[in-house]
Amino acid sequence: DVKVTQSSRYLVKRTGEKVFLECVQDMDHENMFWYRQDPGLGLRLIYFSYDVKMKEKGDIPEGYSVSREKKERFSLILESASTNQTSMYLCASSPLIGSNLNTEAFFGQGTRLTVV
């Protein structure tokens, strides 16, 4: 059974704090993703990584950075948290897709972050 685990279910942080959201997957997947979900906006991709130390910006990378030092772990960093970063953050992983293979991404349970 694929498991994607996010370190916290709920977090409350103050404006200006540096925030780390951790995600670990146990299926040796190459790809890992960070999304945020907001009402009426769906799932928006923040960053993704297709290999250790590799990262690519998604649709809304501003105010975020990421780290992938090990294959199983993908961290999302809010350098200086702001109230507009209050959201549900979702981590996902998937295997590398070959030309004849398609597969789904597996999601963690989400972290509800509130910035006050």
Residues that bind another protein (CB under 8 A): 4, 9, 31, 33, 35, 37, 40-45, 48, 50, 56, 58, 90, 92, 94-99, 102-110, 112
Shortest gap between Cβ of 39 and another protein (angstroms)?
9
C-beta neighbour count of 92 within 10 angstroms:
22
Min dist. Cβ of residue 80 to another protein (A): 26
Tokens of 10: 């709920």
Sign of torsion, CA 11 16 22 23?
positive
CB of 48 to another protein, least distance (A): 6
**What tokens were used for 100?**
């004849």
Distance in Å, CB of 79 to another protein, minimum: 24
If the CB atoms of residues 31 and 75 are measured against another protein, the closer one turns out to be: 31
Cα-to-chain-centroid distance, residue 7: 11
- Choice between 66 and 108, CB closer to another protein: 108
Q: How many helices (H) and strands (E) does the chain have?
A: 0, 11
Nearer to another protein, 37 or 67 (CB): 37
Nearer CB in complex with another protein: 3/18 = 3
Rg (CA), the chain: 14
